[in-house]
Amino acid sequence: MRPFVLLLSLMLPGPVLAAAALPPAAAVDAEMQRLMRATHAEGLALAVIDDGKVVQVHALGKRNAAGAPLTPDTVMYAASLTKAAFAYMVLQLVDEGVIDLDRPVAAYLDRPLPEYPDEKKYAPWSTLKDDPRWQQLTARMLLSHRSGFSNFAFLEPEGKLRIHFDPGTRYAYSGEGLILLQFVLERGLGLDVGEEMQRRVFDRLGMTRTSMIWRADFAGNLADGWTVDGSTEPHDERSRVRAAGSMDTTPNDIARLAAGLVRGEGLSPASRREMVRAQWPITTASQFPTLQNELPSAQRRKDLAAGLGVVVFDGPQGHGFYKGGHDDAVGNTMVCVERGHRCVVILGNDVRAEAAFPALVRFVLGETGVPWTWEYGGRTFVR
C-alpha cells in the first residue's frame, strides 16, 4: 500500500453511517422546484442511482428562452463530466494492454512530442521543445491532473504551453493533460477517440443520445443555457472531439454513465479500483485557479485526493468519488458513494443552479462529505 493511501485510510472520519432510505420521486421533484426558485435557475435535471441501477430521472423547467420544456431526453452539454467518461474508456484500453498507466507516453509516439506540427485540435506541443520534462509524463499522471500544465494553453502568455512543476509531484487541474492523452491515443496508437468513446462507453451503456461531437438529430430537443446574469447562451454545436469536455448527453444517458461507473461495468476489478483510488493528495484550498500555491500540511484536507478522471473523498458514508463540470451557462455534477453503489447526477442548463448542488445531493443521499468548498471556492450555497 502506498504511504498516502495508508495515511488516508487511517484518517477516515468516524463510524460509517448506514445508507438511509432514498426520498421518493415526488419529494425530489418538490425539493428541486424549491431550490430552482431560490437560485432563479431556469432548467435543472437530476438522476438517482441505487445499487448501481438508475431509479429516478427528473427534468424540470425550460430548455430554452422560448419556454420549451426540459425533458429526460433533452440534449445538454456535459462539460467536464466528459473527463470521467474518457478515463473510463482509457481504463478499458489499459485492461486490454493497449496502453500502460505508468509507461511514459513518449514511448507511444514515433517522434518527440515537440516535433509534431501544431494543430488546432490539440495544444501547441512545439512550445515544450526546451523542456525535456514532457518525457516523464504518463497516462496515470495525465488522468490524475499531475502534468504540470495550466488548465489550457490559451490561458498562458502568448498561448504557449508550459510545464510549471515537475510532472507527477502535485495536483493541478488541467484539461490540456487529457488532451495530451487523447493525442497519444490518436497520433501514437492510431485510435479514433470519438469512435472509441462511442463503442466503449455510449453503446455499451445504452447512451443513445450522447456523442463527443454534434449530431443533427440533437436539434429537435436541445438545451440552451443561462448565465449568472440571467442571459441566454445558445448550445455550442461542437465539431471537434475533445477529451477534456466536448460530450453532449441527456439526463437519461448521464444516469446510465454514472450507474456504469459506480458498478464498474466493462472494467476489470483492478482498473475499477484504480479509477476511484486515492492516486495523489490534493493540496490546494480550491480547484481554481489551477496553479495556486499549495496549503501548509496542517491545513490540507486528508480526505481528498485525485482519482483517475474523478476526485475521490471519504466522508460519513465512507469512500466516494465525484466530478464537476461547467462553463458560463452550464453547471453539472456527479456524486457517487461506494456504499450501496449510489449516485446523484445533476445537469443544469443554468449555471445559477450550482448554488443548489450541495443541498440537492444532501437531500437525496444524506451527508456524503463532497468537497464543495474546494470545488467552488468561496461560492455561497443555498439551503
What end-to-end distance do the CA atoms of the chain give, in Å? 40
Return phi, psi of residue 259, to 5°: -60, -40
Query: CA of 14: how far to CAs of 9, 10, 269, 337, 342, in Å?
Result: 11, 11, 27, 16, 20
pLDDT of residue 312: 98
Alpha-carbon distances, residue 197 vs 52, 86, 213, 347 (angstroms): 21, 7, 11, 20
pLDDT of 19 reads: 73
> Looking at residue 18, what is its pLDDT?
65
State the Cα–Cα distance between residues 177 and 195, nearest whole angstrom.
20
Closest by CA position to 349, among listed 135, 68, 41: 41
Spell out the per-residue pLDDT of the chain, length 383, in tens. 444 443 444 344 556 666 789 999 999 999 999 999 999 999 999 999 999 999 999 999 999 999 999 999 999 999 999 999 999 999 999 999 999 999 999 999 999 999 999 999 999 999 999 999 999 999 999 999 999 999 999 999 999 999 999 999 999 999 999 999 999 999 999 999 999 999 999 999 999 999 999 999 999 999 999 999 999 999 999 999 999 999 999 999 999 999 999 999 999 999 999 999 999 999 999 999 999 999 999 999 999 999 999 999 999 999 999 999 999 999 999 999 999 999 999 999 999 999 999 999 999 999 999 999 999 998 999 99
How many Cα atoms are found within 13 Å in the side-chain-facing hemisphere of 244?
A: 19
The DSSP call for residue 62 is: B
Taken in order 295, 140, 370, 330, the sign of the CA dihedral is: positive
CA angle 223, 239, 117 (to 5 degrees): 145
Gyration radius from the chain CA atoms = 20
Please give the model's pTM, rounded to 2 decimal places: 0.95
Q: What is the pLDDT of residue 11?
A: 41
